[in-house]
Structures are given as C-alpha cells and as structure tokens.
Amino acid sequence: MTILVTGGAGFIGANFVLDWLATSDEPVVNLDKLTYAGNLQNLSSLEGDKRHIFVHGDIGDSQLVQRLLREHQPRAILNFAAESHVDRSIHGPEDFIETNIVGTFRLLEAVRGYWKGLDESARQAFRFLHVSTDEVYGSLVADEPAFAETHQYQPNSPYSATKAASDHLVRSYHHTYGLPVLTTNCSNNYGPYHFPEKLIPLMIVNALAGKPLPIYGDGQQIRDWLYVKDHCSAIRRVLEAGLVGEVYNVGGWNEKPNVEIVQRICALLDEMRPRADGKPYTDQITYVTDRPGHDRRYAIDARKLERELGWTPAETFESGIRKTVQWYLDNWQWVEGVQSGSYREWLDKNYSGRTA
C-alpha cells in the first residue's frame, strides 16, 4: 500500500508527510515542483528513510504523473500542490492559473485514467483527496454565520478564484466520471515550516531581525486560525472515513483579528526572546496601505467534520502559537536558509510601495 502526495515539500504538505510517517509505515511518494515555497529542508529528518520517495516534478506533467501512478500503484492521492499566497496572486496571477487550474485538471485526467484501469476492489477503495481553502467562500460581515460546506462560492482574489475553479473541477470529475473524490476546505494554517511571507512567520522573523511589523489597513481583518498539525490529523481522518463526493470544512475555532495575532506574537517574544534594549516588540508595529480587495472576515463552521467523523482540533490558539514561536526560535538556521535573494526581492516588491 502506498499513497501519493503532491506538494509534499511545502508548508502543509511537508507537515502531513512528516506526521504520516511518524504514525504509519505506509510509504509516501512525494511529488513537488520545488518552487520558492517548496523546501527539501522541511523533510531533512526523512533522509535515508525508504518509506519516503521524493520526486522533483510538476502535477501538470502528465507523462510524469502517469509513470508514477503505474510504478507505485497508490491507493490514494492527496493533492496539496498549489500556489497559495494572495499577495503574489495579485502581482502575478498567471502562475496561479497554471498550477491551481491547469495543473489540477491534468492531475485529475492522469488519475482518472489510472483509476479506470484498476480492478473492482481497488477502484472501490481508491480516493482522491483535494486540499483547498476557506477563501473560496468569499468574505463575511461581522455578524454573519461561519462558512458551512453549503456556502456559496464567492472568491475575491486571483488565488481564491483559481482554488475555487480547482474545487469545481474535482467535484465535476466525481459527478461526471465517478472518480471517488474528497475535498477539504481549511482556515488559515500556522505552525512549523511556514514560509515567512505569510502573516505569522513574517512577524516572527521581522521582529527578531529588528524590522517593521507591517499590518495591512486597520488590522481588523478576521481569520480563523488552525494549527497545521491539527489540519494534518483532520486530513488523515477524512481520508480514512470521509464519504465519497463530500466536502469537509476544517477549522480551529479561533477567530481573531490580524492585529491581535501580531500583538500576541510580540508578547510571546517579549517573554521568550526579549529585545536587547528592553523595549516591547509592539514598538515595531507599522500600519501600511491595505492590499486590493482584502477580504474582511473568514470563519469556518467545522461541525460537520466533528459530527460525522469525530474530529476536533487538539490545539487551542494559545497552545499552538506558543509552539510555533518556539519552533522558529529553535530553528533559526532553517529561517536563514529560506531567506534567499528572491525572497528579499519579493518583500521589497510587496511592501516598499505601501505608505504608512
């Protein structure tokens, strides 16, 4: 028995692979394109582990995917591969269309052909699990109910629009061809190995470097926060027991405005790694021009996953954020390794033009 994971060197994918192999002896074929956010250092602890087969490649490479399917005969595909940063999608949407839409289509086509060739029992047991985001649902006002699985899709950025398209493709391959699919839509993840372009790792890295902590607009944009290892456990549970064709929302029940997140990180760093001058890290907070079309609030209703599959998150935000800050403090060599010239150029591009 084998599973194929796409995007397994990125933030969520790498955490999933590490957790999977920590709890199972079932081998993982890990296909990753190794773009800027894909990092083999995330998987360094698996070096020499024969259960982990890494393949450098693109989900859009149909011949490669078909070969991997023939050679390894996986019982399940877990699709983490995606371009996922809203700001980058605003500056350059074409990469998001190519990976999230075209790539998902080509992956589905390859998987469909493979699945049709399986014997009856293997076809019945096979699963294609597509990992998506709550951003496909759009934005909520303050008193609106949280996103349920039946919420209308209303994507507002090139990123969320391409993920919405990929979700629809996955759904269509189930209803048209019978492919046994599962889809998960998660809230904002945080935790180890998070590339420092996203809010939480960026604030930790900038704070420790003595740099400004840029907060968009008034900082009152609300997100639900999910510790990445909780997300991984939810995916394992959906793969194990989810009903074919169903969608499951995965959330942490932690709605918080961005400014509160940054203030909490500052307080933890004041405790765990105080500034040399004794001043609080909140002195580094800077409010900058908001990004175009910034969604105001996301909130996930994860009761279906709890009710039908018995899953709940193990971490509170308080426990998860403390573990996350400690991980970055303990793994500064990893942080320095991902801060390449292209990363610095990106930060300059995205933040230098924003007025305070």
Are the beta carbons of 256 and 200 closer than 8 angstroms? Answer: no
Are 239 and 74 contacting, i.e. CB atoms less than 8 angstroms apart?
A: no
Q: What is the pLDDT along the chain (356 residues), one digit of tens a residue?
A: 999 999 999 999 999 999 999 999 999 999 999 988 889 999 999 999 999 999 999 999 999 999 999 999 999 999 999 998 888 889 999 999 999 999 999 999 999 999 999 999 999 999 999 999 999 999 999 999 999 999 999 999 999 999 999 999 999 999 999 999 999 999 999 999 999 989 999 999 999 999 999 999 999 999 999 999 999 999 999 999 999 999 999 999 999 999 999 999 999 999 999 999 999 999 999 999 998 999 999 999 999 999 999 999 999 999 999 999 999 999 999 999 888 756 566 557 766 765 65
318 is catalytic: no
Catalytic one of 32, 83, 87, 135? 135
Q: Which residue is associated with the tokens 């602890």?
A: 45
Catalytic residue among 32, 134, 197, 230, which?
A: 134
Give the position of tokens 């007025």: 355
58 is catalytic: no
Token couple for 254: 């932690």
User: Nearest Cα to 184, choosing from 76, 300, 284, 282?
Assistant: 300
Sequence-separated (6 or more) residues with CB below 8 Å from residue 267 = 281
Q: Which of 32, 114, 149, 159 is catalytic?
A: 159
Q: What does the domain layout of the chain look like in residue ranges?
A: 3-191+227-253+293-315
Q: Does 277 qualify as catalytic in the annotation?
A: no
| Helical residues (DSSP H) of 85-194, grouped into ranges | 86-91, 94-96, 104-116, 120-125, 158-177
Per CATH, which fold does 3-191+227-253+293-315 belong to? Rossmann fold (3.40.50)
Please calculate the CA angle 315-319-325 and round it to the nearest 5 degrees.
120
Nearby residues of 318 by Cβ (< 8 Å), 6 or more positions away: none
Q: Please give the structure tokens belonging to residue 297.
A: 């609030």
Please answer whether residues 173 and 118 qualify as being in contact, where contact means their C-beta atoms are separated by less than 8 angstroms.
no
Distance CA 303, CA 311 (A): 9
Bridge-based pairing state of the strands 76-79 and 3-6: parallel
pTM score, whole prediction = 0.94
How far apart are the C-alpha atoms of 298 and 188, rounded to whole Å? 9
Q: Give the count of beta carbons closer than 10 Å to the beta carbon of residue 41.
A: 14
